[in-house]
Amino acid sequence: MNSNDRARYLRQIIFAPIGEAGQAKLAAARVLIVGCGATGSIVASTLARAGVGSIKITDRDFVELNNLQRQVLYDEADVAARTPKAIAAAQKLARINSAIQIVPCVADVNAENIEELIADVDLVLDGTDNFETRYLINDACVKHNKVWIYGGAVSSYGATMTIVPNDSACFRCVFMHAPPPGTLPTCDTAGVIAPIVNVIGSLVSAEAIKFIVGSGQRNRGLVNIDLWENTFDTLQVERRADCPCCVKHQFDYLDDASDGAAFLCGRNAIQIRPSKKSALDLGQLAARLAPLGRVTQNEYLVQFTQDAFDVTIFSDARAIIKGTEDASVARSVYAKYVGV
């Protein structure tokens, strides 16, 4: 460890459970953060400052004004530039800690890429906002024996759970079936306060650091916190003997043949993902769309507004169609304006 590293991490090194040996383990660690919104940006910031050596960040979305109330890595310049969250996060983190590796991935995490994304990391951290992606992470991590940490928050309450394959209960042991769409509150329907995001993100980060350095008391239950009601509970959970994932090794979400349409809860938007991997020339696309409506472009995406729809198209040919919650309408808009 050089003198600059020691100076940067001194307060952490003199914390006895970490020490110089633990700091070296942090420097050698590789983590994946899936989703870099509210909790994801807290986790990314905390682990970058802690000196985790390689942080891969994947997120499918771009920065919007309503994110700034709770998503700590972004600012108004990112909103104006419509910067993808993974890119904006990587830019901020590089200014926080230039000695570590930040790998941004502007991508939708799905059954086609999740196994590749987790292949070279030691730990997977949840920064998503939906059950479908968490089930997918759970399948992939159990299949490949990777530890992952669930964390989510809405309104004034949140939950977290550390999942160790072949040891602890997995996500499907606790949540056997996904709740029907529209039955759970979301940040867009129930709101969210920043303090609960910070608390859950900090708990996830602490669990990650404990796992990496191999010290401390790991959370072995489902932690539930409501900051408005001042309730702090830990539910003890056990592996289910009939769990289709960690017991029967049925990876339903990995094996699911999705049609490429994903409902973005509470946003009046549908994401459309092409059935085959594609790469778009954004400049050519912007020129083609310019006569048809208002077009803005940066190096990562093209935004096109026409009639009732706001269409954001990424270089991987993925698009977010805002203005509908009907997948068939979104596919029609996609085919009309993107056409791949």
Q: Which of 222, 245, 217, 220 is nearest to 232 (CA)?
A: 222
Q: What is the pTM of this model?
A: 0.88
Where does 82-193 have alpha helices with state H? 85-96, 114-118, 131-143, 171-174, 187-190
Q: What is the CATH number of the domain that holds 310?
A: 3.30.310
- Same domain for 204 and 114? yes
Q: Indicate the length of the chain as a whole number.
A: 340
184 shares a domain with 94? yes
Same domain, residue pair 208 and 137: yes
Q: Are residues 318 and 242 in the same domain?
A: no
**Do residues 93 and 64 share a domain?**
yes
Q: In CATH, what number is assigned to the domain containing residue 83?
A: 3.40.50.720
pLDDT in tens, the chain (340 residues): 888 889 999 999 999 999 999 999 999 999 999 999 999 999 999 999 999 999 999 999 999 999 999 999 999 999 999 999 999 999 999 999 999 999 999 998 999 899 999 999 999 999 998 888 999 999 999 999 999 999 999 999 999 999 999 999 999 999 998 776 556 777 766 899 999 999 999 999 999 999 999 999 999 899 999 999 999 999 999 999 999 999 999 999 998 756 677 777 667 888 888 767 778 889 988 998 899 889 999 999 999 998 789 999 998 889 999 998 888 888 878 877 887 5
Burial 326-335 (b: 16+ CB within 10 A, else e): ebeebbebbe
Boundary (domain end) residue, out of 220, 255, 290: 255
Tokens at 240, concatenated: 């289910």
One domain, residues 165 and 284: no
Residues 107 and 214 in one domain: yes
Of the candidates 206, 235, 240, which has an alpha carbon nearest to the alpha carbon of residue 220? 235
What is the tally of structural domains in the chain?
Answer: 2
